[in-house]
Structure 1
Amino acid sequence: MKVREALMIGRKRLSDAGVANPALDSELILGYVLGKDRLKLLVYDEMSITKQQLECFNDLLALRCQSTPIAYIIGRKEFYGLDFYIKPGVLIPRPETEFLVEETLNVIYSIENPLIADLCCGSGAISVAVAVNNNRVRVYASDISDVACEVASTNIKLHGVQDRVSLMQGDLWMPFEEKNIRGFDVVVSNPPYIPKEELSTLPDDVKNEPQIALNGGTGGLEFYRRIVLRAPEFLKIGGRIIFEIGWNQARDVEIMLKETGFQDIKIIKDYAGFDRVISGVFCGL
């Protein structure tokens, strides 16, 4: 069978199963099987594929038809222009989170040797993207999940930033407290923020991602409260906290920040025009 024919079969199967981007996903899966990028697939679409490769392709198509996220199937996800290793059990980085990275890089641009805490670091995408794009930064990243720490450790090494990104396993501030690491210029976090009462309404793809990385408790605000409450212990005066937020959470998080000594609140919208990032400067209690 030719590449072109396999791609057509893949598109048809995925489309019939209701997959949102059947052509793209078919190309990504076949490219993964053949070890070629999408451009080479399309340029060499008359290339023959073996029976074994076709069987593997069909097996992976079946997974995608069952709502297994494409990143879990091909084992990677692009984020902020970088390729990240991904596996089941870790949250898949989203394009919207790039706004969080961009704001963090803007904030630390004029700081000589910025010190950053990344809570709920997941795959390490935020920490690594920041470190790759600012060679003066020192990042301490934490996550409670075994799988997340394994994946983040791999990504830190993959991108050669292990001398500037330190990974710690534990619940939010716990590892920072245990190691007495304080005085941060920036605290950044993309915490679980889906309201627990809405988890059952998520798309099937998202339901296959780890609940621990999605469930933000009642109203989706639990982790913001826990992070903000203790942030004054770990931030410098004049330091900034930067969160990714859900589309309707800006007001609630803004109130939390102001009640805890944060001012100069800034809200940034995403590509769709929804509130996506909120930040504030710690001015003291």
Structure 2
Amino acid sequence: MGTWGVGDGRLARIEAMSSGAATTTQPTKVKDALHYWVERLRGDDVPDAVLAAEYIISYVLGLPRRRLDSEMSLVLSQEKVKEIERLMTCRLARMPLQYILGEWDFRDITLKLRPPVFIPRPETEQLVDLALECLQGIHKPKVLEIGCGSGAISLSLLHSREDIECVAVDQSRIAVNLAEENANDVGVLGRMTLVEGKVTSNASVSLPHDTYDLVVSNPPYVLRKDLTNLQPEIMLYEDLRALDGGPEGLDVIKSIFHLSHSLLPYNHYLLLEVDPCHPYLIPAWLEKQKKLKMAVINVYQDLSQKDRFIKCVKYE
């Protein structure tokens, strides 16, 4: 698993918890270990206790989670017991399961994940589907992703179509390096250009192409007042720069619109994942930005029936 790179305070807390837990006699059968750790996690109000316990025990055993039921009578070695305890202690400290395991599935690929790089959420898979729809009929499309994080969106697009080229931008060097690792693992590094830089309204980031067939982004869009409501997993371990969208959640989104205006040909699209209030705020803002020549033409709901994605077009 290596070093996670979390702050000294969080590491100290995890180590202290681990030392305390080590004094407890651990069950050695898979069935008993699963029950024990589910109760420990629930006792500390850790969300999705059963899911976390199943994933961690399966990971330590080197098994897919779906096969755990068939191994309930297996006797665990002391080494396995200690490793399960170490990883469960991290979960008790509210480290996200994705960081503990070091990888997670997104659509039809598996991504390496390390803190503080933003963990891709299941709803963002819908954004990839929308992007593929926008690219239908375009031969060898060039896609620009802004705020790539682990590379989930770009890598899913590249994995889905062999003729796509992606340029992925992120302000975090850690994220860019991780996305490069993932691109290499997925086998698409030759069609992906990674750029470390911050997108601003004056398009100061240096990009390899003058125009793109599609711009797509899951940008920082959480309203600043809502940051205090985030789960401890997010507040303690993820990079808040990937979440904080400013007072209205629009600080980065406005810059993306300015950049898209300069890079998209007419009748080409910008796709954004947004806060549910943004399908109301963004059109009103665009009405005042006549020079941008961008308009929201579709709003899509996520699996929870919340307005989550918008499709915008560059018009003449």
Sort the TM-score into its range (normalised by shorter chain).
over 0.9
Q: Which residue of 1 aligns with 2:7?
A: none
Q: Please tell me whether the aligned partners of residues 250 and 267 of structure 1 are also in contact (alpha carbons under 8 angstroms).
A: yes
**Matched AA of 1:67:** R
Please report how far the alpha carbon of residue 230 of structure 1 lies from its aligned counterpart in structure 2 after TM superposition: 2.5
- Tell me, in whole angstroms, the C-alpha distance in 2 between the residues paired with 1:218 and 1:179: 29
Please report how far the alpha carbon of residue 249 of structure 1 lies from its aligned counterpart in structure 2 after TM superposition: 1.4
- Tell me, in whole angstroms, the C-alpha distance in 2 between the residues paired with 1:215 and 1:263: 24
Q: Please tell me whether the aligned partners of residues 224 and 253 of structure 1 are also in contact (alpha carbons under 8 angstroms).
A: no
Please report how far the alpha carbon of residue 256 of structure 1 lies from its aligned counterpart in structure 2 after TM superposition: 3.9
Q: Which residue of 1 aligns with 2:279?
A: 250
**Matched AA of 2:206:** E
Q: Please tell me whether the aligned partners of residues 140 and 163 of structure 2 are also in contact (alpha carbons under 8 angstroms).
A: yes
Q: Which residue of 2 aligns with 1:15?
A: 42
Q: Which residue of 2 aligns with 1:184?
A: 212
- Tell me, in whole angstroms, the C-alpha distance in 2 between the residues paired with 1:27 and 1:61: 11
Q: Which residue of 2 aligns with 1:151?
A: 178
Q: Which residue of 2 aligns with 1:277?
A: 309
Q: Does 1:132 align with 2:164?
A: no
**Matched AA of 1:17:** D
State the secondary structure of the residue aligned to 2:183: helix
State the secondary structure of the residue aligned to 2:213: strand
Identical residues among aligned pairs (%): 29
**Matched AA of 2:94:** S
Aligned length, in residue pairs: 284
Q: Please tell me whether the aligned partners of residues 199 and 205 of structure 2 are also in contact (alpha carbons under 8 angstroms).
A: no
What runs of 5+ residues in structure 2 fail to find an aligned partner? 1-27
Q: Please tell me whether the aligned partners of residues 296 and 310 of structure 2 are also in contact (alpha carbons under 8 angstroms).
A: no
What runs of 5+ residues in structure 1 fail to find an aligned partner? none
Please report how far the alpha carbon of residue 212 of structure 1 lies from its aligned counterpart in structure 2 after TM superposition: 1.2
State the secondary structure of the residue aligned to 1:187: strand
Q: List structure 1 runs of 4+ shifted beyond 3 angstroms.
A: 173-177, 255-259
> Structure 1 residues 177, 86: closer, same or farther in 2, change over 3 A?
closer
Of 111, 116, 129 in structure 2, the residue corresponding to residue 102 of structure 1 is 129
Q: Please tell me whether the aligned partners of residues 228 and 256 of structure 1 are also in contact (alpha carbons under 8 angstroms).
A: no
- Tell me, in whole angstroms, the C-alpha distance in 2 between the residues paired with 1:216 and 1:178: 22
- Tell me, in whole angstroms, the C-alpha distance in 2 between the residues paired with 1:2 and 1:9: 10
- Tell me, in whole angstroms, the C-alpha distance in 2 between the residues paired with 1:146 and 1:32: 29
- Tell me, in whole angstroms, the C-alpha distance in 2 between the residues paired with 1:63 and 1:180: 41
Of 227, 231, 235 in structure 2, the residue corresponding to residue 199 of structure 1 is 227
Q: Please tell me whether the aligned partners of residues 168 and 175 of structure 1 are also in contact (alpha carbons under 8 angstroms).
A: no
- Tell me, in whole angstroms, the C-alpha distance in 1 between the residues paired with 2:89 and 2:63: 20
Please report how far the alpha carbon of residue 244 of structure 1 lies from its aligned counterpart in structure 2 after TM superposition: 0.3
Q: Which residue of 1 aligns with 2:252?
A: 223
- Tell me, in whole angstroms, the C-alpha distance in 2 between the residues paired with 1:265 and 1:254: 10
1:184-226, Cα deviation, whole Å (9 max, x unpaired): 1100000111112221121112212111111111111100111
> Structure 1 residues 136, 180: closer, same or farther in 2, change over 3 A?
closer
1:32-79, Cα deviation, whole Å (9 max, x unpaired): 222211122221221121112111111211111121110010011111
> Structure 1 residues 264, 244: closer, same or farther in 2, change over 3 A?
closer
Question: Cα RMSD between the aligned structures?
Answer: 1.7
- Tell me, in whole angstroms, the C-alpha distance in 2 between the residues paired with 1:168 and 1:178: 8
Deviates more, 1:85-94 or 1:34-43: 34-43
Q: Does 1:3 align with 2:30?
A: yes
Relative to its length, the structure with more strand (as a share) is 1
> Structure 1 residues 40, 50: closer, same or farther in 2, change over 3 A?
same
The alignment's TM-score, normalised by the length of structure 1, stands at 0.95
Please report how far the alpha carbon of residue 169 of structure 1 lies from its aligned counterpart in structure 2 after TM superposition: 0.8
Q: Does 1:62 align with 2:89?
A: yes
Please report how far the alpha carbon of residue 116 of structure 1 lies from its aligned counterpart in structure 2 after TM superposition: 0.5
The alignment's TM-score, normalised by the length of structure 2, stands at 0.86
- Tell me, in whole angstroms, the C-alpha distance in 1 between the residues paired with 2:77 and 2:50: 21
1:128-159, Cα deviation, whole Å (9 max, x unpaired): 00111111111100101011112111111111
**Matched AA of 2:43:** D
Q: Please tell me whether the aligned partners of residues 245 and 251 of structure 2 are also in contact (alpha carbons under 8 angstroms).
A: yes
Q: Which residue of 1 aligns with 2:116?
A: 89
Q: Please tell me whether the aligned partners of residues 169 and 175 of structure 1 are also in contact (alpha carbons under 8 angstroms).
A: no
**Structure exhibiting the larger radius of gyration computed from Cα positions:** 2
> Structure 1 residues 126, 7: closer, same or farther in 2, change over 3 A?
same
